[in-house]
Amino acid sequence: MTTHVCTRIQIFTLTFLAFLLMSCTSSQTMVRERPDPVLQQKLESIVHDFKGDIGIFVRHLRTGQMATIQADTLFPTASMIKVPILCTIFSKINKGELGYDQILLNRDSLKYDDGVSGSFRDSTKIPLSELVMLMITLSDNTASLWLQQLAGMGATINAWLEQNGFHNTRVNSRTPGRRLNWEVHGWGQTTPREMADLLLMIYQGRAVSPDASEEMYRVLTKPYWDGEALSQFPPTIHAASKSGSVNASKSEVVLVNGPSGDYVFCVIVKNQQNKGAEYDNDGYVLIREVSRALWQHFEPDSKWRPQPSARKWAKPDW
């Protein structure tokens, strides 16, 4: 066998092995979705008597198992809209238009409510990174609207969403041409599938840049509001989440780093009859039930169960 032929065989072999390696790696992260009829039945049983409209999207990343209920229907985002704001802020940081360590100066005109940043005195200085923490961890509304402004307002955020394949998720508040959408959906709108896909995009390092995605994911794993979906699997399990709440709509998007594989889900309700903010609000109860069912479905050998007295640790939603 000539040297030329040997070289060609070696090149072909190495190329084929590289292709197999890439295929294997890809299959672990982008497995084709496949409906899970058992999980679907469990979810439909949970939502059967709910008084309101419900949207759910669930996907197990390793196996591709999925279940959906109105997953492509538009729902209010409430505070989940802060995830697209986060992505657009990080896009500007990545371009050098903002700095994560940049010091910002508060003005009384920025105040929206009496949350943490809304209580700042005029001329208070705060790093951009801390403002991001307040928006995601505490869901601080004044911080969020400040960041929406720094991101370029709703039109810029919506352009980022469109460019990244999110055709239904939009900022409505303080955005020209979207008043009718705001009257229906409030601050923002999305579908359960798109909100889950956005969190998955961050987790997989595909949002803005790999390093930006990593920092965003770290921020999203430190929520103060942990009494709904996060309370239904062990506290030792790593997860990223963002929840939302307005009178007739409750929502949460979560990515769980489970022992048997990661899974992402989003639950949104609207038009619910019970419009309160108490622990036993129908929307909150539903989110907890769905999260608990998913944990038990994907981790059937887990002996962990929520503590019966967990309610006393519920945080006031005010």
- pLDDT per position as a tens digit, 156-209: 999 999 999 999 999 999 999 999 999 999 999 999 999 999 999 999 999 999
Same domain, 101 and 176: yes
Residue 152 has pLDDT above 90, yes or no: yes
Residue 28 has pLDDT above 70, yes or no: no
Contact 43, 267 (CB under 8 A): no
pLDDT computed for residue 177 by the predictor: 97
Contact 245, 79 (CB under 8 A): yes
Question: Could you give the 3-state DSSP secondary structure of residue 27?
Answer: helix
Same domain, 69 and 148: no
Decide which of 7 and 276 is more confident. Answer: 276
Same domain, 244 and 276: yes
- Please report, for residues 40, 230, 302, 317, the alpha-carbon distance to residue 223 in angstroms, rounded to integers and kept in the order given: 28, 9, 24, 14
Nearest of 153, 249, 234 to residue 195 by alpha carbon? 249
Contact 97, 89 (CB under 8 A): no
Distance CA(81)–CA(214), nearest Å, equals: 19
Query: DSSP code of 177?
Result: T
**CATH number of the domain that residue 311 is part of:** 3.40.710.10
- Angle made by CA atoms 82, 86, 90, in degrees to the nearest 5: 170
Residue 273 has pLDDT above 70, yes or no: yes
Residue 127 has pLDDT above 90, yes or no: yes
pLDDT computed for residue 318 by the predictor: 61
* Cβ-based neighbour number of residue 97 at 10 Å: 12
Q: What is the 3-state secondary structure (H, E, C) of 143-167?
A: HHHHHHHHHCHHHHHHHHHHHCCCC
Contact 86, 136 (CB under 8 A): yes
In a domain, 27, yes or no: no
Rounded percentage of the chain residues whose pLDDT exceeds 90: 80
In a domain, 236, yes or no: yes
Same domain, 166 and 152: yes
pLDDT computed for residue 32 by the predictor: 93
First to last CA, the chain: 79
Contact 242, 216 (CB under 8 A): no
Residue 10 has pLDDT above 60, yes or no: no
What is the full DSSP assignment across 186-246?
TTEEE-HHHHHHHHHHHHTT-SS-HHHHHHHHHHHT--S--SSGGGGS-TTS-EEEEEEEE
Q: pLDDT averaged over the chain?
A: 90
pLDDT computed for residue 115 by the predictor: 79
For CA atoms 169, 186, 145, 242, give the dihedral sign: negative
Q: How confident is the model at residue 118 (pLDDT cuts 50, 70, 90)?
A: confident
- Residues 55-74: what's their mean pLDDT? 98
Q: How confident is the model at residue 81 (pLDDT cuts 50, 70, 90)?
A: very high
What total of structural domains would you count in the chain?
A: 2
Using a 10 angstrom Cβ sphere, with 0-12 exposed, 13-18 middle and 19 or more buried, the burial of residue 285 is: middle
Residue 44 has pLDDT above 50, yes or no: yes
The encoded tokens of residue 289 equal 């039930």
pLDDT computed for residue 9 by the predictor: 43
Same domain, 313 and 271: yes
Give me the domain span that covers residue 97: 76-190
Same domain, 180 and 131: yes
- pLDDT per position as a tens digit, 224-236: 999 999 999 999 9
Q: Assign 3-state DSSP to the chain and report helix, strand, coil percentages, each to 5.
A: 45, 20, 35
Same domain, 40 and 130: no
Residues 6+ apart with CB under 8 A from 135: 82, 85, 86, 143, 144, 147
Q: How confident is the model at residue 30 (pLDDT cuts 50, 70, 90)?
A: low
Contact 30, 23 (CB under 8 A): no
Distance CA(210)–CA(203), nearest Å, equals: 9
Residue 133 has pLDDT above 60, yes or no: yes
Contact 111, 142 (CB under 8 A): yes
For CA atoms 80, 189, 34, 231, give the dihedral sign: positive
In a domain, 4, yes or no: no
In a domain, 269, yes or no: yes
User: Where does a domain end: 190, 214, 243?
Assistant: 190
Residue 80 one-letter amino acid: M
- Residues 13-20: what's their mean pLDDT? 40
- Residues 78-86: what's their mean pLDDT? 98
pLDDT computed for residue 12 by the predictor: 43
In a domain, 200, yes or no: no
In a domain, 16, yes or no: no
Question: Could you give the 3-state DSSP secondary structure of residue 126?
Answer: strand
Distance CA(90)–CA(152), nearest Å, equals: 12
